[in-house]
Amino acid sequence: MGIFDGAFIALIGPIAIQFCGSAYAAQSIGCMLGLAAFPLSLGPPIAALIFKENGSYTLPFMLAGVSPIVGATLMFSTRFKKIRRLSVE
């Protein structure tokens, strides 16, 4: 996951500029990092609690993998829906 986290951090700037424009890039980066602070802060203690109950990190790793898969699926579905809508028009 380390290499993917590095790619995520490297892409925050270009994504912020693409969606919000260069005039609001700093505010959008701050907003994205601020929103990411909650799950990044709460994830390890929750994983520790699950490990304490089950004695295995299998469930925490599976739960950590579900979120990016759901997010990627939603992004791709909106992209294809937009392409389909443009082709109909």
Give 36-50 pLDDT, tens digit per residue: 899 889 989 999 999
- What domain count does the chain have? 1
Neighbouring CB atoms inside 10 A of 24's CB total 13
Q: Is residue 4 part of a domain?
A: no
Q: Is residue 84 part of a domain?
A: yes
Amino acid letter, 72: A
Structural domain containing residue 29: 10-88
Q: Is residue 5 part of a domain?
A: no
pTM of the predicted model as reported, rounded to 2 decimal places: 0.61
Asked whether the beta carbons of 68 and 58 are under 8 A apart, the reply is no
Asked whether the beta carbons of 43 and 57 are under 8 A apart, the reply is no
Q: Is residue 2 part of a domain?
A: no
Tokens of 72: 């990627």
Higher pLDDT, 82 or 76: 76
